[in-house]
Structure 1
Amino acid sequence: MSLRELRPFFDAKGWKPFPFQKQTWRAHAEGKSGLVHAPTGLGKTLAVWLGPVAEARKNFPEKSVGCGVLWLTPLRALAQDTLRAMREPLEILAPELQVEARTGDTPSALRARLRKKLPFGLVTTPESLSLMLTHGDTRDRLANLTTVIVDEWHELLGTKRGVQTELCLARLRAWFPGLRIWGLSATLGNLDEARDVLLGNASDHAVTISADLKKQIEIETLIPREIERFPWAGHIGTRLATQVVRELEKARTTLLFTNTRSQTEIWFQALLELKPDWADQLAMHHGSLDRAERERVENGLRDGTLRCVVCTASLDLGVDFSPVDQVMQVGSPKGIARLLQRAGRSGHQPGKTSRILGVPTHAMELVEFAAARDAAKARHIETRVPLRKPLDVLVQHLVTCAIGEPFAADEMRREIQSSHAYQDLTDAEWEWCLGFISTGGKALTAYDRYRKARLLDGRYVVDGKQLIQQHRLSIGTISADSHMTVRLANGKTLGTVEEGFVDRLKPGSQFVFAGRRLVLVRIHQRIATVKMATKQAKGVVAIWGGNKMPLSNELAHAMAARLRGEGGRSVEMGAVEPILDIQRRWSSLPDDRILLIEHAHSRDGEHLFFYPMAGRLVHEGLGALIAWRMNLTDSISVTQNDYGFCLSARRGLHLDEKIIRELLRTEYLLDDLISCMNTAEMARRQFREIARVAGLILQTPPGRPNRSQRELQSSSRLLFEVFERYDPENLLLEQSRREILEKQLEFTRLARSLEDLQQRPIHLVELDHLSPLAFPLWAESFSATMSPADAATRLEAMIDELNRAAAK
């Protein structure tokens, strides 16, 4: 493809195409598919979009071409920004070509127009594409489709939404064999594997195109003026808010990222208290806020009227906010890719430097930020592991396809196995899936509601109107706890909070949400009506469920290298040196080449501190495993963080190296984990999500109150027990057990960690005093069982004792 068709746009902008963009245009013109990898803000959109545009101008210069490009985005919030980026070159190159978005946020009037006629470029989500497949005319309406572009593929890879995308692409490839598919990724360690997962069996002649452009990224850390030797749980928290404000004053616009929605609410309030005159310049953005509020914030970033937005991952991706010249990260990002992704929100243009300032929430995060900078410089980026054969997603997709176009089993199986996720689908698994959609499986055959598909002239078809409506409402794999809408008495919707949080409140209780101090008025039909608080009483901050992000392998190794003294001098290591010095004098520094184990006595009993440096979830599994193997599960408590775990008991924890080696054995790991972690109950909880995706638990029809969390739990638990009793071979049961091992316990990583620990020399230290790394684990071990006042008194006494010992 020559540049002649595209030159007017670049000339108007005063730009020159990058080599990776030209390479992508040539590959597209040759009919190839692939993955484009480039740092954020360097023109990936133009690389994959302008090829189809130039092709349309050349082949259809004067007539409508129909829908030629589907653009899949992982977030509805990205749709409007993607539309702007796609429309800009069309104004110069092809004003006759139209681009629109079809997502869950699309107004009904536009949806109606799109049902009549599709534009040349359609921006949509995996869920909306699946919904399109339930309409019998979709193949005809996409007859001119030449290209599918999957944006931010790294965010979908390794998730059920990613598998849903794989299945949709397999359907489109079966309809249109010459279809070209392009993925976009900014930060990913396994690029070629990511490409092959995206393209399935069409990856043989595909290409991976990486921009050979060095994006300058500066990673710095805000150093606390004072760092306690033994901070409670290590938390600095909002004590750095004053220093953060000084940094905000230096920039025009800042994104202040946090790792949780609750932390976003807390930091917003802290900044507002310090700078009340910034009320119109401060905002927050997270996924539980109402869409109108999020759009107001996004527009404020674009026009430069906001000084600071406190946000979560809801602003991680793709949105081009050119006014943002500073990014801050509260707490360790726990991964290199996440840090680079967020850093890329600043300097979001070619040739600009991206800067991110880390704000530690505990002392050891100073080491984490220094290590993250080392790993980023070395390009040690995390990989995303693709999912294999989630059958709940497959049975949902089969019903979707049967509603749109009745299918023959053999043809559909070939199509399904053309995807990466299901290329190893067995005969037994396939037959089970067909039986599940047609009869509900062995245990549910007697119930009509589970008989969705039927054989008609050799093809599976779904033709019940109510069933079709229910299925369309239930399409998707995103699961979340049941939530309630939070609404002011004047009708303004603020967003949603989880049902479990609201259940703990009484009318008249104050809580903080959406940057406001609210009073609960009443709860009715899944709506929590609130009013603004007039008196400043103490109110809780809204909390949401979900696990804390564990430290990634790559960041853990980089951190261990820093603790070994590698990486050279840095301000972070200088600031934390007093703590590390005490750790060295009283014990030693943990590492990923040795296994440090500390033994200590306190008036609470004995304590063993292990430091595998493998992340919170692995340590949770290892701690439970060792406690069970010691036959002390009834009398031992286990706490963990990203660096290690602690076993606490009244007695019996004085172990030698031989016993420790036996406790760390790799034999019978799976059986022992199942025995010690109560995986049966965990699997019941996981089954609720699987049952919803598989269509066993249906969405509430429009106009009716949402089912409560208690009702959903009851329904899923009943189904789980029915399957266990009458259909123990049900493959969804096996899937729930498999998912809980990987999702909750990171079983694969845990097994590898245990193998690694077997090879490490053991450094067993008898402590005279709790070390700085042991103290937070010890504090957690009793704080959960004592009243806050008693816990605080006990902690202060221990801190005084340790500080006196350190001063000597």
Structure 2
Amino acid sequence: MTARVRPDAPKAAARGVALSAPAPHAWFAERGWRPAAFQREVWAAIAAGRSGLLHADTGAGKTYAVWLGALMAFADAGAAPLPARAGAARAQPLRVLWLTPMRALAADTLQALQAPLAALAPDWRVGSRTGDTGSSERAAQARRLPSGLVTTPESLSLLLARADAPRELASVRLVVVDEWHEMLGNKRGVQVQLALARLRTWVPDLCVWGLSATLGNLDEALATLLGDNAGDGVLVRGPREKALRIDTLLPARPERFPWAGHLGKRMVPQVAEEIEHSGTTLVFTNTRSQAELWYQALLDLRPDWAGLIALHHGSLDRAVRAWVEAGLRAGTLKAVVCTSSLDLGVDFLPVERVLQIGSAKGVARLLQRAGRSGHAPGRASRITLVPTHSLELIEAAAVRDAVSSGQVEARPPPDKPLDVLVQHLVTVALGGGFRPEALYDEVRSTCSYRELTPAEWQWCLEFVRQGGPSLTAYPEYRRVLADDAGVWRVPDARLARRHRMNIGTIVSDASMTVRYWQRGGQGGALGTVEEGFIARLAPGDVFLFAGRPLELVRVEQMTAYVRRAGAGRPAVPRWNGGRMPLSSELADAFVARLTRAAQGELDVPEMQAAAPLLAVQAAWSALPVTGTLLIETLRTREGWHAYLYPFAGRLAHMGLASLLAWRIGRRQPATFSLAVNDYGLELLSATPVDWRAVFAEGLLDESAVLEDALASLNAGELRLRRFREIARIAGLVVQGPPHARQSSRQLQASASLFFRVFEQYDRANLLLSQAEREVLSQELDVARLRQTLVRMQAARQVWIELKHVSPFAFALMVERFREKLSTEKLGDRVARMLAQLEAAAGGERGAAEPTDVVFALGDTPARKRAGRGPRRPRRRS
């Protein structure tokens, strides 16, 4: 029995070179595997020339479902094989492009793709092309691309920018987009959409498959991946049979008054004990700074683990990361403390267990990380949640409920990001040129640009042709011009080089290389850290990086030279990107758990452990439950407090707090301090506020939420910040070559200059309106904010006048203090407050009057502003 052969390859079938169907089964059998039904379904679909999306559990076998289908269908397709080099075996031309969202996944994916080639496709060669690919391999690929190429969206765009791209990529038969859920909802996914549309122009029968394990909007994900070809796409679902164990490491003494920010280090001994009695373990944290601290804390507790535990995050040097990954594959490491750098698709078979420090903040993220353990068909995955404060005990119970009911977050694709389109226009102009009419139809075949209007298209063309009305006089912004034949091309080699250095949609602060100081030459590299952090240090200061305390020696040409530090209190690097708001699905599950607790149902260990907190909250206030809005008020030396608990996530609460303060400020003179977390928000006024009266005056009206949200915040500064990223993606500002990178300050200054020029002379510039849209959707999360207001209006308001700071309110109070106090002072203040609150709650340290808690520790009240008009609220969050 032979495999089904593509209709467009009858000559190949006649030659009798198609792989026999039993071949993959035999290869599986040699390894003790049996093809799953979903794998056979994918093989049949690819053989029939159909595209689709494969959604299956992590470790279920998605890679071989698509890869073996490709070998069966395309190993014999197209032109005869050509010699790769003199004396070498004859190799097939490029057939498969395998897109991965992370460079770290490329090596692992490459190893998996190579495994069956000797048995199933000996005339195929596979290689990788990412930012980590060496110059010699790049040179070889410039002469001839391998049969299968593992690459990233950015490197694919660089291939599309080659002048010979139409010829070199015309042999591609299949594109696989791995971890599609990771790119679907951001601009990298848009970059993939445009690249696929370009490839379909050259290869009309192109087969495209996406792989995903954690998605809530599968139909939309399939439609986005396939564009106008979605009608013929197939959605293949793997069985949801993989055993998954979610448990929680319960603290010895759960706190009754929770607060975030201490990173849960009191749990270090228990985490170490779990690592001791487990096989290879991944310890996930949500931020790089938290990973550094936890790694150091584990080593401090168990110095005998030096060399047996390691640290992994995206700012570490590639060689360090490669060493850690090799140790995980070999099973020589007992544990690795890591961030999202190991979230995706890497196949570390020795990993038996995952520990999640703190809340994963979303169901999809938790499932993704859980799948790093037991990463093989038939093996169970286990993830243990390590709460850093008592509210995360409730989150742990809630996330298990959400997983059981299949409540996984959706990831909608961005709508018409014109900065990505502008970049793509220049890329296509480099890759053989384009005719505007044909390219317009091609771009509109994608999901994100389906509603692109002719006027918007024309604006984009004018922008790449002459920079728009305000930049016409500057030659460097005449990036694309039409030649005599009407084909638009990049006219200048210098502009072409500048564009290639700027391709991509990932924008981050400028980073500095961290190296050991060595007289007479450069020492070894440790990784990179944000320039803004180093700028705050002076020579001699100590900071924690790469799991060790380092002393800054000097800074020179974007390199920070360091030496190992002795005793000293380290400062911890702060990276951007650590803000992860609670998802709607997890928030709903959290409130459902509180509702059951209010009815006396504490049926799982996490809720039983949180019982002391819940008891104090219920006694001093009330539990927020489904269908109600809990509003707590308190009068202290600081002023008049209101605590609200909408459970809408940090971003929506930030916008909501600012909006409510702004609306109150229009009714009466007031200045507010604000604090937010994922559960609720605090409004604090130094002057009297009748909270019930102001809430009765339409404070929660959603009709003017857009206008009021923009007015309540420094919208101009938010737009400028978003515009800086847009300007980089659109090619207005460039980072420069690796040896002469511009500093973040230079890039910000350049982008700010463009922003002011456009604001003054080109108000119709569509990049300005895009910046405003992104502020509303990403910075303010206006859609969720409006939904929250609607839900709050419909809810029954439960008003509680506090005599004590409730447990939920205490968490918000600490958030506000953190913005005003150093770590040491914050710790002292929290310790005093906890002692007094515990005493008031019936603790072991004696009694205290409830007002003493805040009166004794409150800040000096703000000066009254009687007789003055509304003022923009001060935001502390």
TM-score by length of 2: 0.90
Cα offsets for 1:617-649 (capped at 9, x unmatched) = 110000000000011786210000000000011
* In 1: Cα distance, 2:546 partner to 2:651 partner: 30
- Judging changes above 3 Å, is the alpha-carbon distance between structure 1 residues 80 and 787 closer, same or farther for their aligned structure 2 residues? closer
2:49 aligned partner: 31
1:579 to 613, 633, 652: 613
* In 2: Cα distance, 1:10 partner to 1:794 partner: 62
1:241-280 paired onto structure 2 within 5 Å = 241-280=268-307
* In 2: Cα distance, 1:284 partner to 1:466 partner: 41
Cα offsets for 1:165-217 (capped at 9, x unmatched) = 00000000111110010000011111111010011001111010001241111
2:563 aligned partner: 531
| Pairing 1:784–2:812 present | no
CA-CA distance at 1:792 after TM superposition: 4.9
Cα offsets for 1:482-525 (capped at 9, x unmatched) = 11110112421100001110011100111110011111110011
8 Å CA contact retained: 1:196, 1:203? yes
1:211 aligned partner: 238
1:410-449 paired onto structure 2 within 5 Å = 410-449=437-476
8 Å CA contact retained: 1:233, 1:777? no
8 Å CA contact retained: 2:256, 2:613? yes
| Pairing 1:461–2:497 present | no
SS in 2 for 1:484: strand
8 Å CA contact retained: 1:648, 1:781? no
* In 2: Cα distance, 1:36 partner to 1:356 partner: 24
| Pairing 1:749–2:784 present | yes
8 Å CA contact retained: 1:343, 1:355? yes
| Pairing 1:160–2:187 present | yes
* In 2: Cα distance, 1:60 partner to 1:5 partner: 21
8 Å CA contact retained: 2:263, 2:290? no
Q: Say how many residue pairs are matched.
A: 806
8 Å CA contact retained: 2:670, 2:687? no
* In 1: Cα distance, 2:736 partner to 2:593 partner: 52
- Judging changes above 3 Å, is the alpha-carbon distance between structure 1 residues 61 and 232 closer, same or farther for their aligned structure 2 residues? closer
1:47 aligned partner: 65
1:719 aligned partner: 754
| Pairing 1:145–2:172 present | yes
CA-CA distance at 1:246 after TM superposition: 0.5
SS in 1 for 2:718: helix
2:691 aligned partner: 655
| Pairing 1:565–2:600 present | no
CA-CA distance at 1:780 after TM superposition: 2.9
1:188 aligned partner: 215
Paired AA for residue 94 in structure 2: C
1:87-126 paired onto structure 2 within 5 Å = 87-126=114-153
Paired AA for residue 498 in structure 1: E
CA-CA distance at 1:652 after TM superposition: 2.5
8 Å CA contact retained: 2:407, 2:585? yes
* In 2: Cα distance, 1:656 partner to 1:727 partner: 46
Deviates further, 778-787 or 312-321: 778-787
| Pairing 1:509–2:541 present | yes
- Judging changes above 3 Å, is the alpha-carbon distance between structure 1 residues 203 and 801 closer, same or farther for their aligned structure 2 residues? same
1:308-707 paired onto structure 2 within 5 Å = 308-456=335-483, 457-490=485-518, 491-533=523-565, 535-565=566-596, 569-631=603-665, 635-656=671-692, 659-660=695-696, 662-704=698-740, 706-707=741-742
CA-CA distance at 1:737 after TM superposition: 1.0
1:765 aligned partner: 800
- Judging changes above 3 Å, is the alpha-carbon distance between structure 1 residues 547 and 702 closer, same or farther for their aligned structure 2 residues? closer
* In 2: Cα distance, 1:62 partner to 1:277 partner: 58
SS in 2 for 1:703: helix
* In 2: Cα distance, 1:48 partner to 1:792 partner: 53
Paired AA for residue 270 in structure 2: Q
CA-CA distance at 1:694 after TM superposition: 0.2
8 Å CA contact retained: 2:509, 2:531? yes
Paired AA for residue 578 in structure 1: P
CA-CA distance at 1:745 after TM superposition: 1.2
SS in 2 for 1:110: helix
SS in 2 for 1:6: helix
* In 2: Cα distance, 1:791 partner to 1:5 partner: 65
Cα offsets for 1:736-775 (capped at 9, x unmatched) = 1111111111111111111111111111111111111011
Paired AA for residue 683 in structure 2: L
- Judging changes above 3 Å, is the alpha-carbon distance between structure 1 residues 392 and 61 closer, same or farther for their aligned structure 2 residues? closer
* In 2: Cα distance, 1:140 partner to 1:58 partner: 19
* In 2: Cα distance, 1:116 partner to 1:633 partner: 71
* In 2: Cα distance, 1:598 partner to 1:616 partner: 19
CA-CA distance at 1:233 after TM superposition: 4.2
SS in 1 for 2:170: coil
Deviates further, 328-337 or 592-601: 592-601
Deviates further, 263-272 or 12-21: 12-21
* In 2: Cα distance, 1:661 partner to 1:48 partner: 59
* In 2: Cα distance, 1:459 partner to 1:153 partner: 33
8 Å CA contact retained: 1:617, 1:745? yes
8 Å CA contact retained: 2:734, 2:747? no
* In 2: Cα distance, 1:236 partner to 1:714 partner: 35
8 Å CA contact retained: 1:638, 1:646? yes
1:805 to 833, 836, 840: 840
8 Å CA contact retained: 2:25, 2:34? no
2:74 aligned partner: 56
TM-score by length of 1: 0.97
| Pairing 1:300–2:301 present | no
CA-CA distance at 1:658 after TM superposition: 6.7
* In 2: Cα distance, 1:736 partner to 1:683 partner: 5
CA-CA distance at 1:229 after TM superposition: 1.9
Paired AA for residue 791 in structure 2: D
* In 2: Cα distance, 1:277 partner to 1:61 partner: 59
- Judging changes above 3 Å, is the alpha-carbon distance between structure 1 residues 518 and 356 closer, same or farther for their aligned structure 2 residues? same
2:857 aligned partner: none
- Judging changes above 3 Å, is the alpha-carbon distance between structure 1 residues 184 and 603 closer, same or farther for their aligned structure 2 residues? same
SS in 1 for 2:115: helix
Deviates further, 449-458 or 628-637: 628-637
- Judging changes above 3 Å, is the alpha-carbon distance between structure 1 residues 775 and 26 closer, same or farther for their aligned structure 2 residues? same
CA-CA distance at 1:786 after TM superposition: 4.8
CA-CA distance at 1:321 after TM superposition: 0.3
* In 1: Cα distance, 2:215 partner to 2:353 partner: 23
* In 1: Cα distance, 2:208 partner to 2:387 partner: 41
SS in 2 for 1:203: helix
8 Å CA contact retained: 1:229, 1:579? yes
- Judging changes above 3 Å, is the alpha-carbon distance between structure 1 residues 286 and 598 closer, same or farther for their aligned structure 2 residues? same
CA-CA distance at 1:118 after TM superposition: 1.3
CA-CA distance at 1:104 after TM superposition: 1.0
Task: Compute the RMSD of aligned alpha carbons.
Answer: 1.7
8 Å CA contact retained: 2:726, 2:767? yes
8 Å CA contact retained: 2:47, 2:72? no
SS in 2 for 1:332: coil
- Judging changes above 3 Å, is the alpha-carbon distance between structure 1 residues 788 and 406 closer, same or farther for their aligned structure 2 residues? closer
CA-CA distance at 1:15 after TM superposition: 1.6
Cα offsets for 1:333-373 (capped at 9, x unmatched) = 00001001101111111111100011111110000011101
Could you tell me which runs of 5 or more consecutive residues in structure 2 were left unpaired when the two chains were aligned.
5-20, 82-90, 848-877
* In 2: Cα distance, 1:443 partner to 1:599 partner: 53
* In 2: Cα distance, 1:260 partner to 1:234 partner: 12
* In 2: Cα distance, 1:335 partner to 1:794 partner: 31
